[in-house]
Amino acid sequence: MTTPTPPSSVPPEESVENAIELKDVEGLSQGRIVLRKFVRHRGAIAGTTALLLILLLSVTSIGYGPLPGWWKWDPNATNAVINPGGRPTMGLPTWLGGEGLAFGDAPFGQDEIGRDIFARTMLGVQTSLQVMVIIGLVAGVIGVAVGAAAGYFRGWIDQALMRLTDLVITFPVIVIGAVLGKMAGAGGVFLLALVLGLITWTGLARLVRGDFLSLREREFVDAAKVAGASNFRIIRKHMIPNAMGVIIVNITLLMAAAVLLEAALSFLGFGVRAPDVSLGRMISEYQSAFSTRPWLFWWPGVFIIAIALSINFIGDGIRDAFDPRQKKIPSAREMDRALRASERGDKDAS
């Protein structure tokens, strides 16, 4: 006599979703699971694609270092003004009453002395991306080191490092960045980004500390101590990999804020100096021509927004990928397929 199967307390829809999710991640490592979730995040893929296209356009157009570019104008070279007032040579689409989208010799226009705005914008994009990466690396290393040491050792080390962090937090970033940027701006983009990275690590340090305070009480940390592992090895091999989700997410958001910080400081005159070019400095240089030649503002502003949004979308995708509570909503076809498989399994069991 067959014993009847007790009814399940889990709703059919939820059980089907769980079955689909378990089938998707079965046999995969944690890194593969995170990568699969990230790839399925539409916003993250859109942000990654947009950022790669911007990077590719800026590097291939005017070149980078020894690499030559396909664009014919130099960012700082003065040329003959093609259109009256330096208007862009790129026209409106024909369906909007224009003459087509022919780029011509100056698609983004020219300034009053004939410098090509497209070339200068691409150089400004390269500067913003360099600053973004350097600030992310510097602030990431300092924030992780300070937060890890404070959260793992606790005691007087925690108190000293957190009081230092609180002291840095009390000063407005824009004010400290303006003072330090004024001194470091003449030293080039690398020195400016390095100085800004030294003052933007505080938020990451506090988040890493909170995560480490929780991780140090876990069983695998006690097992590593019993096995004789050193404190540095426990932090490097066991705790940092488990906190990698928090670290990566917050570094990406920090990099997006770094783009806006550099643009703001350069606009105020405390950031990048000539002959270097940045998007914020371009807006500052051409602010007096806002009402007469607005195209001088359109393109630097558009690329600042595009870079910041792309990084934020990537950060959202990484956060959702590392969050185990995030579930992918299955399609109707997947729901029907899983439901039929579940019904066949129940019949076989009976």
Nearest to 124 by CA among 250, 293, 306: 306
**Could you tell me which residues are beta bridge partners of residue 67?**
64
Q: Which CATH class is domain 37-72+119-322?
A: mainly alpha
Q: Residue 345 — pLDDT band, cuts 50, 70, 90? A: low
Nearest to 331 by CA among 3, 16, 75: 16
Each domain of the chain, given as residue ranges in start order, spans 37-72+119-322
Task: Name the token pair of 125.
Answer: 């994009």
* Position with higher pLDDT, 12 vs 246: 246
**19 pLDDT exceeds 50?**
no
**202 pLDDT exceeds 70?**
yes
pLDDT of residue 151: 92
pLDDT of residue 304: 92
The length of the chain in residues reads: 350
Dihedral-angle region of residue 213 (phi above 0 means left; psi in -120 to 50 means alpha; beta otherwise):
alpha
CA atoms within 13 A on the CB side of 110: 22
pLDDT of residue 8: 47
Per-residue pLDDT tens digits for 306-317: 999 999 999 888
Per-residue pLDDT tens digits for 301-344: 899 999 999 999 998 888 888 776 555 545 556 556 666 766 66
Which amino acid is present at 71? Answer: W
pLDDT of residue 347: 58
Measure the CA–CA gap between 99 and 97, rounded to whole angstroms. 7
pLDDT of residue 120: 92
Cβ within 8 Å of residue 245, ≥6 positions away = 34, 318, 319, 322, 323
Q: What is the mean pLDDT of the chain?
A: 80
Per-residue pLDDT tens digits for 67-101: 888 888 888 888 888 877 777 776 555 444 445 55
pLDDT of residue 280: 87
Which amino acid is present at 278? Answer: S
Per-residue pLDDT tens digits for 263-291: 888 888 888 877 788 888 888 888 777 77
**6 pLDDT exceeds 60?**
no
Task: Name the token pair of 31.
Answer: 């890194």
**123 pLDDT exceeds 50?**
yes
Per-residue pLDDT tens digits for 159-195: 999 999 999 888 888 888 888 777 776 677 888 888 8
Going 101 to 102 to 108 to 112, the CA torsion angle's sign is negative
Measure the CA–CA gap between 349 and 331, rounded to whole angstroms. 27
pTM above 0.75, yes or no: yes
pLDDT of residue 162: 94
Q: Is 33 within 8 Å of 25 (Cβ atoms)?
A: yes
Identify the weakest region by mean pLDDT among 78-87, 109-118, 128-137.
Answer: 78-87
Measure the CA–CA gap between 137 and 278, rounded to whole angstroms. 20
pLDDT of residue 9: 47
pLDDT of residue 182: 76
Average pLDDT over residues 243-253: 88
Query: What are φ and ψ of residue 86, in 5° steps?
Result: 75, 25
Task: Name the token pair of 235.
Answer: 């932090």
**22 pLDDT exceeds 50?**
no
pLDDT of residue 1: 45
Average pLDDT over residues 21-40: 70
